[in-house]
Structure 1
């Protein structure tokens, strides 16, 4: 049994994360289905990268002064991008 903390966070049990292929940096979708919370890993890497690019664009100063994912980016964004790509490579195997 897991507990929800004051910020609404939960920790997925390790065996569940392993079965679902959820690693640090994996994007997940959370929605309600029949009165239950459902957590599903995002499995379309292109969709994830598009969402990341959109978020960078929306938060960049001056809207339009963005850094593409192919250029040198913030270390945190780079780490997230690498995790997404690793997940995509594993799903292709």
Structure 2
């Protein structure tokens, strides 16, 4: 079973590298999904751009949440951004 070294590195087993076609020096995407660590080969840049465009389109279709309906932490964040913007205008 692979172990994490003192620098946070893990050696991917050869069988998995071969199955996923991950070679030396290739970049991988590492993220958490439902409490599990997921390692995937880097995606095609065009695929990444397409996915980002989908995400942006989905966000731009949403109506902003009114300030009064934000949770306290979100309100604090908005207030901080507003203060910083006002300070920058001076």
TM-score by length of 1: 0.47
| Greater relative CO (CA pairs within 8 A, separation 6+) | 1
Whose radius of gyration is greater, 1 or 2? 2
Q: Which has the higher helix share?
A: 2
